[in-house]
Amino acid sequence: MTDSNDVTKSRHIFLKAALVLTTAVALTGSGVAVASDERPKPDKSATPIVNDALQREVAKHVMEAGPPGYIARIDNGKQIYTLAQGVADKTTGRPITVHDQFEAGSNTKTFTAVLALQQVDRGKLKLDAPVEKYLPGVVPNGENITVRMLLNHSSGLFSYTSDPDFFINMEKDPQHVHTDAELLAVAFKHEPYFAPGKGWQYSNTNYTLLGMILQKQTGKSMATLVEERITRPLGLRHTYFAEPKATGTGPGYAHGYAINYASGTPQYTDVSDWPLSWAGAAGAMISTTTDLSRFFSAVLQGKLFSQAQLKEMKTTVPLPEGSHIKGGYGLGLFRTDTPGGTVWGHGGDTNGHHSTAVATEDGRRTAVTNSTGEPNHLTENPGAKRYYQATVFGADTVNIYQMLDKPVPSEVLENLRGITPAAAE
C-alpha cells in the first residue's frame, strides 16, 4: 500500500519539475538525452514496453488537457510503434494521422546548429570567434559573445519572445511578417540576463543571429540551406523551413490551435495560417514524426558533419541549479538524464503545437510526438496552463522509457494519472 501523503508529495514534485522544464525552454521543448547501459532493478508493477493500452491512455490524458490531436512514433530498437488520436482539423473533423505534417517549433534549433557546424567543417565559421566578426555592429557587446555562446545559450542575450508585449502585439496583428531586425530590436531593448559565458538562459535571439550569419555567409535563405544541406541528402520529403508560412496546409497537415482557458471551457483559435517569421531560424520548421526521427538519428550518428563537430555538439553546459533536471545543453541539442537512461534531442512549442523529438546516443532509437494545441500565451488561467504543461511532460517521460525499452515505473504512471486541473492549481 502507498501512503496517500507520499503520492500527493510525489505528484507535486512531478508537477514542479514539469513547470521548471517548460519555463526553461519556452518556444522549445523538453529536450532529452545519453545512453546508459545500466538498467534499473525490475519493477514488478511496471508497465510492459510499448504497450498500446498505455499509449492510448497517454494520448487521452494529453487531449483532456486541451489539444484536439496527438500523434506519437516510438522506435525502441525492436519495433516502430505509431499512434494517432483525435482530429487534425476541428472544422472538418478530419482524423489526425501519424504521417501528418506539423509545426516543429524549436526542433528547428538543431537544424540551424547543424548548418552552423557544417560551416565550421568548411572553414567558414569558428565556434570561439566573436559574433562581431560575422555581424559587425549588430549585437551589443558582440566582441565578447562567441558563436558557441549563441549555440549553447550562454550568451546572456534577452529572448525577444520574453518581452511582455511580444505576443500581445502578435494577437493584434497575427498576419504580420516579422523581420530579423524587428526581432532583434525587441530583444536589445532589454538588458542581458548575465555577462557572456556566465550562465545559461534559453533565448530565441541566439538562433535568430545564427540564421543571419548563415544567410550572410552563404548568400542563401534558411529554406534553401535546409533543403540543400539537410532534407535532400537525408530524403526528408515532408520537412521544410516555412518562409514565412506553412504552405502544405491541406489534407495531411495537422492544424495547430492556441487554447484559451479563461472561461473554464477551452476556446480554440486555429493558428495554422499564421506566419512563422517570428520563430525563424529558432523555430520555423515543418516536419513529420518519421522525418524528425530520421533527422535526429542522422545527427547523433554524425551523418551531416564530421565526428569532430558531433563531439562539439555534444559538449554541454549545465542547466541552472534548482531546475530539478539533470542534464545540459550542447550546440542546439539537449541532454537530459532520466532514471531510465539518458537521451539527446530537442522539443518545440509554437502558438499551436507542442512537439518532442529524442534519440539515444547512438541514434538507433527515437521517440517523436506532437500535440496539436498550446495554451494561449495570454491565457488568464495559469492553473490550466500548469495542468497542460505537467501532462505533456508526463507523456514525454512515459515515451522515453518506452523508447529505451524499459518498463515504465509505477510511480511515473501514478503521477501522470494524478495530474488534474485541481492538482495543478
Cell digits of residue 17: 519539475
User: Does 425 fall in a domain?
Assistant: no
User: Does 133 fall in a domain?
Assistant: yes
User: Does 136 fall in a domain?
Assistant: yes
Q: Residue 393's domain is classified under what CATH number?
A: 3.40.710.10
Q: Catalytic residues, which ones?
A: 106
Cis peptide before 244 (omega within 30 of 0): yes
Q: Which domain holds residue 237?
A: 4-418
Q: Which amino acid is at 313?
A: M
N- to C-terminal Cα separation, the chain: 27
Q: pLDDT of 190-242, one tens digit each?
A: 999 999 999 999 999 999 999 999 999 999 999 999 999 999 999 999 999 99
Up-side HSE of residue 312: CA atoms within 13 Å toward CB?
A: 21
Please state, in angstroms and rounded to a whole number, the distance separating the CA atoms of residues 420 and 423.
5
User: Does 235 fall in a domain?
Assistant: yes
User: Does 309 fall in a domain?
Assistant: yes
Q: Which amino acid is at 201?
A: Q
Q: What is the pLDDT along the chain (425 residues), one digit of tens a residue?
A: 434 343 344 444 444 444 334 333 334 433 332 222 233 344 444 565 678 899 999 999 999 999 999 999 999 988 999 999 999 999 999 999 999 999 999 999 999 999 999 999 999 999 999 999 999 999 999 999 999 999 999 999 999 999 999 999 999 999 999 999 999 999 999 999 999 999 999 999 999 999 999 999 999 999 999 999 999 999 999 999 999 999 988 789 999 999 998 877 889 999 999 999 999 999 999 999 999 999 999 999 999 999 999 999 999 999 988 775 679 999 999 998 988 899 999 999 999 999 999 999 999 999 999 999 999 877 667 888 888 988 998 999 999 999 999 989 888 888 888 887 755 55
Up-side HSE of residue 32: CA atoms within 13 Å toward CB?
A: 32
User: Does 423 fall in a domain?
Assistant: no
User: Does 424 fall in a domain?
Assistant: no
User: Does 364 fall in a domain?
Assistant: yes
As for how many domains the chain has, the answer is 1
pTM for the whole thing?
Answer: 0.89
